[in-house]
Structure formats: structure tokens, C-alpha cells
């Protein structure tokens, strides 16, 4: 794990302050007021630890730290540029003395806390998916609206495969599975077949090439009613490139284990596969483990968490109108009600 994130450097022509200001103007955190209201009650004591495991531009973090003046932030992100942008934003907000930023993926929360010699977290935030500034940074290849190399890696310093690599190397059946499972794409098999046919002539390397292929593969009737024909496929490829669902499943268990007594966790998801994982992980912690028919529930069988919201909260119509990203959000939140002895 990279544990030297405090002063990461980029090429000299990268204007971090300029990018931060521009991205901050465009980036509107989803369900911000609700998130702050849910997290800050657990952070109103000296030395309280707030883990933002998907720091991004630091919008949620800035608001939470402002509402919890005694708390410190451990901000985690797999994108080195995100850490620099968040640091710039939080420094301008006068919060620099209360932050520790770490380059890692969010399934490494327990390891990050251990290396900082912290026993756990009083509050944990996970805002899943791709951030606004990543979409707006055209050269990253996340957006179907701008031509760019088909990269889609959240951490461009990694040597993992790009979207272009997957489309070039994976079998047709695997491409179809990715588009169907991660993008809910009804025409996954047709698109996968077109991709394989195309790469026999020349592999897809740019987002505009993929957009053109998708435009030809998706029937006109679906395009008229189902939004942009590339939206679902780009989402699916991004999830596959960054191994998001596997990492999320592990991350949820680590995050829940790290929450201290009376601490809280909030997770915002934007994809049905993400929300299913969150719902499943949360359900395991909020139900009794007592065997069926046991006349008395023993202490060790009692749930370790309780819900803070009923089911999954969604953005209201006003927020959806102002912030398109809020349209698909599902927010789930828990508080720890019972501590469990950890194995040494």
C-alpha cells in the first residue's frame, strides 16, 4: 500500500489549485445535509475520528468537519489527483490541521487506521461510484461526451488494465456478462458481438470509437426512450476496470468492523449491484444471530448495529432537478449498538 500521500507530486504543468476551484464549483455533494445530520452526532467529542473512505473532492468531508469541530479526518482515495484536489479544498477552508489523507482503496480502512495507531472510527462515509471531477476530466475516459483514450482507471498510477485492454482481450461472453451485470444493458450480447467483430479489424482505443459502435448496436427505439446509448456500457466498463464490486464487498465488512461503539456509517450507492451489496452487509449486522426457536436471545446473539434510516433514503425531487447525479442515489446508514471483542 502507498502510504506516502501527504505530498504527492504531479507534472509541473498541472494547476491543482485551478482544477480544484473549477471542480469545486461544479461538484455538488449528494444528500449533503442528510449525511452531515447522520454523521456528526457521533463526532461531538475531542479526538473523534471521521473516515471518508471515498474522499473525492472533499465536499462531504468539509461539511462534516465544519459541523464537528472536535473531529479529525482520515481521508482515503485511490485517485492521487483526488487527494491533491481535496487537500487544496480543505486547506482553503482552514481545515488543514485536522486532516490526514491516504492513498489507498476503501477496502483498506482497517489497515489505514492501524498504521495511524487509531483503534477505530467514530464515523465512516462511503460515497460510491465515479466522482464529478473524474467525469469532467476528459482525458481519463470516463465520459461518453468527450473523446479520450479508453482508460477509466481511478488510479492511473496503477498498472491494472484499462477499458481498452478489456475490450481487446476479453472473450465475447465475458464482455457480454460485464455489460449485463454491471450496466443492466439489455443489448449486452449484441454489443459484445459488435466489439469482437470490430477488434478483428482494429481494437477500440478511444471513447468516441466506442460511442459510435454503441450508437450503431443499440436499436433506435431504445435510444429514444432509454437515455444515451453509451451510458450503461461506460458504467459497466468503469466498474469492471476498477474491480469496484469485489472491493466494495470487502470494504463494507472492514468499515463495519472499524466503527466504534455508538459510531455511525453512511453509504451512498448509485448502481443496483452496489446497493444490493450494501443492503446485504447491513442486514447481517442488524439482525439477531440467535438460532431459530431459542427461547431467550443471549447477549452474543443481539445485533451489533441498528438502522438510522428506514430502508434506503433517496434524494427529493428538488435535489434531483438541481443535481442529476442524485437521481439514482440510495443512502443507507447504521449506528453501532453493541461492541464485539476483536480477535488479537
The CATH number that applies at residue 228 is: 1.10.150.170
Domain contains 8: no
Domain end position, chosen among 211, 241, 271: 241
Q: Is 235 annotated as a binding residue?
A: no
Domain contains 2: no
* Cβ–Cβ < 8 Å for 179, 167: no
Query: DSSP secondary structure string, 296-312?
Result: S--GGGS-SEEESSSS-
Number of domains in the chain: 2
Domain contains 108: yes
Domain contains 72: yes
Domain contains 145: no
Q: Is 151 annotated as a binding residue?
A: no
Q: Is 27 annotated as a binding residue?
A: no
Q: Residue 36 sits in a domain of what CATH number?
A: 3.40.50.150
pLDDT of residue 119: 97
Query: Are residue 248 and residue 120 in the same domain, yes or no?
Result: yes
Query: Are residue 163 and residue 220 in the same domain, yes or no?
Result: yes
Q: Is 183 annotated as a binding residue?
A: no
Q: Is 127 annotated as a binding residue?
A: yes
Query: Are residue 25 and residue 126 in the same domain, yes or no?
Result: yes
Domain contains 148: no
Query: Are residue 28 and residue 120 in the same domain, yes or no?
Result: yes
3-state secondary structure of 62: helix
Query: Are residue 236 and residue 251 in the same domain, yes or no?
Result: no
Within the chain, residue ranges assigned H as helices are 16-26, 32-39, 59-67, 80-92, 109-115, 132-136, 163-169, 172-183, 188-201, 207-217, 220-225, 231-241, 244-258, 272-286, 317-322
The one-digit pLDDT tens for each residue of the chain (344 residues) are 445 444 333 444 555 565 555 545 556 799 999 999 999 999 999 999 999 999 998 999 999 999 999 999 999 998 888 899 999 999 999 999 999 999 999 999 999 999 999 999 999 999 997 655 555 555 555 677 788 899 999 887 778 899 999 999 999 999 999 999 999 999 999 999 999 999 999 999 999 999 999 999 988 877 766 667 888 899 999 999 999 999 999 999 999 999 999 999 999 999 889 999 999 999 999 987 666 766 666 666 689 999 999 999 999 999 999 888 888 999 999 999 998 765 44
**Which secondary structure element, helix H or strand E, spans residue 76, and what is its range?**
strand 72-77
Q: How many CB atoms lie within 10 A of CB 76?
A: 28
Q: Is 144 annotated as a binding residue?
A: no
Domain end position, chosen among 241, 272, 293: 241
Q: Is 50 annotated as a binding residue?
A: no
Q: For residue 99, what are the domain limits? A: 16-133+244-336
How would you classify the pairing of strands 305-307 and 330-336?
antiparallel
Domain contains 151: no
Cα(43)–Cα(45) distance, integer angstroms: 6
Query: Are residue 233 and residue 258 in the same domain, yes or no?
Result: no
Query: Are residue 22 and residue 51 in the same domain, yes or no?
Result: yes
Amino acid at each position: 500500500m502507498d502510504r506516502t500521500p501527504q505530498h504527492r507530486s504531479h507534472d509541473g504543468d498541472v494547476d491543482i489549485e485551478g482544477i480544484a476551484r473549477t471542480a469545486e464549483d461544479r461538484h455538488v455533494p449528494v444528500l449533503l445535509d442528510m449525511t452531515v445530520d447522520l454523521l456528526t452526532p457521533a463526532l461531538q467529542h475531542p479526538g473523534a475520528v471521521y473516515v471518508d473512505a471515498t474522499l473525492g473532492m472533499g465536499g462531504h468531508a468539509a461539511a462534516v468537519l465544519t459541523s464537528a469541530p472536535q473531529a479529525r479526518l482520515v481521508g482515503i482515495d485511490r485517485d492521487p489527483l483526488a487527494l491533491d484536489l481535496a487537500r487544496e479544498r480543505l486547506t482553503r477552508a482552514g481545515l488543514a490541521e485536522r486532516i490526514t489523507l491516504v492513498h489507498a482503496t476503501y477496502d483498506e480502512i482497517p489497515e489505514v487506521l492501524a498504521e495511524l495507531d487509531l483503534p477505530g472510527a467514530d464515523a465512516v462515509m462511503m460515497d460510491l461510484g465515479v466522482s464529478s471531477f473524474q467525469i469532467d476530466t476528459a482525458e481519463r475516459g470516463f465520459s461518453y461526451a468527450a473523446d479520450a483514450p479508453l482508460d477509466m482507471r481511478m488510479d492511473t498510477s496503477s498498472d491494472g488494465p484499462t477499458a481498452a485492454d478489456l475490450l481487446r482481450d476479453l472473450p465475447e461472453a465475458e464482455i457480454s456478462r460485464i455489460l449485463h451485470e454491471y450496466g443492466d444493458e439489455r443489448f449486452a450480447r449484441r454489443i459484445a458481438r459488435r466489439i469482437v467483430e470490430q477488434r478483428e479489424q482494429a481494437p477500440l482505443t478511444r471513447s468516441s470509437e466506442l460511442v459510435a459502435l454503441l450508437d450503431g448496436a443499440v436499436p433506435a427505439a431504445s435510444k429514444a426512450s432509454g437515455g444515451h446509448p453509451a451510458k450503461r456500457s461506460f458504467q459497466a466498463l468503469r466498474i469492471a476496470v476498477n474491480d469496484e464490486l469485489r472491493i466494495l464487498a470487502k470494504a463494507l465488512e472492514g468499515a463495519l468492523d472499524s466503527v466504534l461503539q455508538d459510531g455511525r456509517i453512511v453509504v451512498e450507492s448509485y448502481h443496483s449491484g452496489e446497493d444490493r451489496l450494501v443492503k446485504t452487509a447491513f442486514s447481517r449486522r442488524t439482525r439477531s444471530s440467535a438460532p431459530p426457536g431459542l427461547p431467550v436471545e443471549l447477549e452474543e446473539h443481539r445485533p451489533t448495529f441498528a438502522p438510522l434510516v428506514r430502508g434506503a433514503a433517496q434524494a427529493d425531487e428538488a435535489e434531483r432537478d438541481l443535481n442529476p447525479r442524485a437521481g439514482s442515489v440510495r443512502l443507507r446508514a447504521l449506528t453501532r449498538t453493541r461492541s464485539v471483542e476483536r480477535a488479537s
